[in-house]
């Protein structure tokens, strides 16, 4: 695909500084910029590359002040990072729009409803009474179970699995290897030491604009629904257990795990490898640092870190003490020696 600088500026409501007729056919990082590509500068740490990059067009913030001459054509925008993201999204939409129709071999049950503009890749399976919305992209080897609803403009990447009765909203993205609706981890201990499986008869509901990373699993409710609210973004390799609820616009980084019935509020930011005990309530606008262990409820707006997690300021104090433990140990050993010498002197 080929775009002129002036066309990009028009799409982004930006201002061209330089050759507005110059064309780009791809994108690049500013530090690896190549002729014919578009890059962006948002982080001041990369400013030096602005003056040496070979990229033909570079997006910069309107308030940015140049310190040297730049060979590239510049497009000034309100937010270079968001503008670049919008261009990438446009590119992906254009690319995805090229895929339509049903590849063979694939299986679509005769009772399923498949609307216009859908792409279904080879070896995909669409179960009984499933409903596939407009412009949905279902890549090869995807499984869509019975009674599943997939909303308009959703993308199911290769190898993702949607179990029976689950509901996927509009504009969702589910990456390869993700499993939506697997059984919750429910087992009843028996007198003989064995565990009897508890039937999991609920489902999963993903509201609109949810993104589920590769190899992430969202278990169905034991009864009722596991609910992922609108705009939630889950990274790769996350476990969401039965009957959890994640509030609107919350983001969770890789390798986090939520035990059953955990409730997380809106607009939370959760780092990688965070673990949640079951039946907890996390408020709105909470920030949790990586590798934290959450063992009790967290109120709105708190910033926590550590295992067990405590307020950030307290966690910093704890970490300072922890780093000083070797020196403190030496001090204690020295004090013990001195006390021993004093006691020995008193005896003598």
Q: Could you list the pLDDT tens digit for every one of the 348 residues in the chain?
A: 689 999 999 999 999 999 999 999 999 999 999 999 999 999 999 999 999 999 999 999 999 999 999 999 999 999 999 999 999 888 777 766 678 899 999 999 999 999 999 999 999 999 999 999 999 999 999 999 999 999 999 999 999 999 999 999 999 999 999 999 999 999 999 999 999 999 999 999 999 999 999 999 999 999 999 999 999 999 999 999 999 999 999 999 999 999 999 999 999 999 999 999 999 999 999 999 999 999 999 999 999 999 999 999 898 898 888 898 999 899 999 999 989 888 888 877
Residue 303 lies in a domain: yes
Domains held by the chain: number: 3
pLDDT of 122: 98
Q: Which domain holds residue 60?
A: 3-97
Clarify whether residues 166 and 247 are in a common domain.
Answer: yes
On whether both 54 and 178 belong to a single domain, the answer is: no
CATH for 177: 2.160.10.10
Catalytic residue among 175, 229, 242, 263: 242
Instruction: Return d(Cα 12, Cα 38) in angstroms, integer.
Output: 14
The pLDDT value recorded for residue 99 is: 83
**Is position 56 within any domain?**
yes
Pair (87, 110) in one structural domain: no
Are 308 and 330 in the same domain?
no
What residues does 251 pair with on adjacent strands?
233, 269
Residues 122 and 84 occupy one common structural domain: no
**pLDDT of amino acid 91:** 79
Among candidate residues 63, 97, 131, the one where a domain is terminated: 97
Same domain? For 162 and 24 the reply is no
Residues 28 and 110 in one domain: no
Residues 88 and 12 both lie in one domain: yes
Supply the pLDDT for residue 92.
77
Domain co-membership, 114 together with 262? yes
CATH number, residue 65: 3.40.1390.10
* Catalytic residue status for 175: no
Shared-domain flag, residues 161 and 283? yes
Among the candidates 67, 97, 127, a domain finishes at 97
For the chain, the three-class secondary structure string (H helix, E strand, C coil) is CCEEHHHHHHHHCCEEECCCCCEECEECCHHHCCCCEEEECCCHHHHHHHCCCCCCEEEEECCCCCCCCCCCEEEEECCHHHHHHHHHHHHHHHHHHCCCEECCCCEECCCCEECCCCEECCCCEECCCCEECCCCEECCCCEECCCCEECCCCEECCCCEECCCCEECCCCEECCCCEEEECCCCEEECCCCCEEECCCCCEEEECCCCEECCCCEEECCCCCEEEECCCCEECCCCEECCCCEECCCCEECCCCEECCCCEECCCCEECCCCEECCCCEECCCCEECCCCEECCCECCCCEEECCCCEEHHHHHHHHHHHHCHHHHHHHHHHHHHHHHHHHHHHHC
Judge whether 318 lies within some domain: no
Given 64, 97, 130, the domain boundary residue is: 97
User: Is-cis flag, bond preceding 316, omega within 30?
Assistant: no
- Residue 97: per-residue pLDDT: 63
* 213/336 same-domain check: no
Question: What is the per-residue pLDDT for 182?
Answer: 98
Shared-domain flag, residues 224 and 331: no
């Amino acid at each position: 695909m080929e775009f002129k600088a002036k066309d990009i500026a028009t799409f982004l409501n930006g201002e061209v500084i330089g050759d507005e007729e110059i064309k780009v056919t791809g994108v690049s990082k500013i530090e690896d910029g190549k002729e014919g590509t578009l890059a962006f500068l948002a982080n001041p740490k990369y400013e030096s590359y602005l003056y040496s990059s070979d990229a033909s067009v570079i997006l910069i913030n309107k308030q940015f002040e140049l310190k040297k001459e730049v060979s590239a054509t510049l497009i000034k925008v309100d937010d270079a990072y968001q503008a670049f993201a919008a261009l990438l999204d446009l590119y992906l939409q254009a690319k995805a729009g090229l895929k339509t129709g049903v590849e063979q071999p694939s299986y679509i049950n005769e009772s399923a409803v498949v609307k216009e503009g859908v792409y279904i890749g080879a070896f995909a399976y669409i179960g009984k009474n499933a409903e596939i919305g407009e412009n949905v992209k279902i890549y090869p080897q995807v499984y869509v179970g019975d009674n599943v609803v997939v909303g308009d403009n959703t993308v199911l990447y290769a190898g993702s699995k949607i179990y029976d009765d689950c509901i996927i909203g509009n504009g969702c993205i589910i990456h390869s290897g993700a499993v939506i609706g697997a059984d919750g981890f429910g087992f009843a201990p028996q007198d003989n030491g064995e565990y009897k499986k508890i039937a999991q008869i609920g489902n999963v509901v993903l509201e609109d604009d949810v993104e589920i990373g590769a190899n992430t699993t969202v278990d169905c409710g034991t009864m009722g629904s596991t609910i992922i609210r609108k705009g939630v973004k889950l990274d790769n390799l996350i476990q969401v257990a039965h009957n959890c609820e994640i509030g609107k616009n919350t983001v969770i980084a890789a390798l986090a795990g939520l035990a059953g019935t955990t409730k997380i509020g809106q607009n939370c930011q959760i780092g990688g490898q965070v673990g949640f005990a079951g039946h907890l309530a996390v408020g709105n606008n909470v920030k949790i640092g990586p590798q934290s262990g959450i063992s009790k409820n967290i109120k709105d707006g708190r910033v926590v870190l550590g295992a067990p997690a405590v307020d950030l300021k307290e966690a910093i104090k704890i970490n300072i003490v922890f780093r000083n433990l070797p020196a403190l140990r030496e001090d204690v050993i020295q004090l013990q020696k001195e006390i021993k010498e004093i006691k020995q002197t008193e005896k003598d």
